[in-house]
A = this chain, B = another copy of it.
Amino acid sequence: MLDLSNIISAMKLTTKEEDYLETIYLLSRDTDKVALTDIARERGVTLPTVFSALSRLKRNGMVTQPHYGKIALSSDGEKLGAEIFGTHRIIRRFLDEVLQLPADVAEATACRMEHGITIEAVKRLEMLINIMRNCDGKNAGCLMEYKERLHP
Minimum CB distance partner of A149 in chain B: B127
Minimum CB distance partner of A98 in chain B: B128
User: How many identical chains are in the complex?
Assistant: 2
Chain A interface mostly: helix
Do residues B101 and A124 form an inter-chain contact, with CB atoms below 8 A?
yes
How far, in whole Å, are A111 and B113 apart by their CA atoms in the complex?
A: 11
Minimum Cβ distance to chain B for residue A84 (Å): 14
A-B contact pairs, 25 of them (CB 8 A): A95-B121, A99-B124, A99-B128, A100-B124, A101-B120, A101-B121, A101-B124, A105-B118, A105-B121, A109-B117, A109-B118, A109-B121, A111-B116, A112-B116, A113-B113, A127-B146, A128-B142, A131-B145, A131-B146, A138-B141, A139-B141, A139-B145, A140-B142, A142-B142, A142-B143
Which of A's residues lie within 8 Å of B, judged by CB? 95, 98-101, 105, 109, 111-113, 115-118, 120-121, 124-125, 127-128, 131-132, 137-143, 145-146, 149-150
